[in-house]
Amino acid sequence: MRKNIVAGNWKMNKTLQEGLALATELNSALIGKSLNCDVIIGTPFIHLASVASAIDTKQIGIAAQNCADKESGAYTGEVSAAMIKSTGADYVILGHSERRAYYGETFETLKDKVLLALKNNLNPIFCIGEVLAEREENRQNEVVKAQLEGSVFNLSAEDFGKIILAYEPVWAIGTGKTASPEQAQEIHAYIRSLVAQKFGNQVADNATILYGGSCNAGNAKELFTNPDVDGGLIGGASLKVADFCAIIDAF
């Protein structure tokens, strides 16, 4: 069954104390509510364990924002998928455009990260999306196809089924410029058609494809109404409980 999901990506924001306050406030706001979507928060590594013990992880899933491309050992400063899992997190955001752009993540490193995440029972939230120049040249389809083929189309259908996809046009991230509902639907449908070609209709039907990029309380409903938009990956608007809850309420 396809799931609707609203996931927050806190990026590099919030001290431990601030993050704990945000997570517990969100937890209180959602407690006992029956929601029409799953809710996930993607916190910095250092918050994961504390947040996991402070909130109801059945109501709010926890994601890391990255993991190492190596299993364990002499990789100073890195955090492995097994370590993330041991905090109580069940998800990991992989392939975010900021990591591709600023930390040199390639199709190959992401392929390794996805495999390690799955091996450690973490569900990857795998991000794809084009930059502005590519959109202006109408190359967005070719870009997302290469990103999928380069890092996740090697998986078995069963493993692919554990992945949440997030389409995030880079030109819409943190810019206040959102893809129009029509633009989002068009490329989400294309992404689903690629999944169907590769893994068959059932896997494609069940795939959750989130939209990310300046999604907020004002535009979430219009975006989520599209048949192939199954929720959002939310940056800035996930840092305030009222804003994030208003997006959850869009479902």
Q: b/e for 27-66, b at 16 or more Cβ within 10 A?
A: beebeeeeeebbbbbbbbeebbbbbbeebeeeebbbbbbb
Q: 91 has which bridge partners?
A: 63, 123
Q: Is the CB of residue 232 less than 8 Å from the CB of residue 247?
A: yes
- Decide if residue 236 touches ligand 13P (CB under 6 A): yes
- Decide if residue 43 touches ligand 13P (CB under 6 A): no
Q: Is the CB of residue 84 less than 8 Å from the CB of residue 120?
A: yes
Nearer to ligand 13P, 69 or 95 (CB): 95
- Decide if residue 214 touches ligand 13P (CB under 6 A): yes
Assigned token pair, 65:
């924002």
Nearer to ligand 13P, 27 or 214 (CB): 214
Q: 12 has which bridge partners?
A: none
- Shortest CB 93 distance to ligand 13P, Å: 7
Instruction: Tell the residue number behind the tokens 């929601």, with chain if given.
Output: 35
Nearer to ligand 13P, 96 or 192 (CB): 96
- Nearest residue to 41 via CA among 3, 84, 5, 8: 8
Active-site residue numbers? Answer: 96, 168
**Piece of the chain touching ligand 13P by CB under 6 A; list 76-84, 139-147, 150-158, 208-216:** 208-216
Nearer to ligand 13P, 68 or 173 (CB): 173
Residues contacting 73, CB < 8 A, separation 6+: none
Nearer to ligand 13P, 87 or 214 (CB): 214
Residues within window 77-106 making contact with ligand 13P, judged by CB under 6 A: 96
- Decide if residue 212 touches ligand 13P (CB under 6 A): yes
- Shortest CB 165 distance to ligand 13P, Å: 13
CA distance 30 to 225: 22
CA distance 83 to 73: 12
For residue 135, give the amino acid letter: R
- One symbol per residue from 166 to 205: x for binding ligand 13P (CB under 6 A), - otherwise; what is it? --x----xx-------------------------------
CA distance 36 to 41: 16
- Decide if residue 147 touches ligand 13P (CB under 6 A): no
Alpha helices in 5-47 (DSSP H): 16-30
Nearer to ligand 13P, 61 or 212 (CB): 212
Q: Is the CB of residue 151 less than 8 Å from the CB of residue 162?
A: no
**Piece of the chain touching ligand 13P by CB under 6 A; list 146-154, 182-190, 207-215, 242-250:** 207-215
The residue count for the chain: 251
- Shortest CB 168 distance to ligand 13P, Å: 5
Binding site for ligand 13P (CB under 6 A): 9, 96, 168, 173-174, 212-215, 233-237
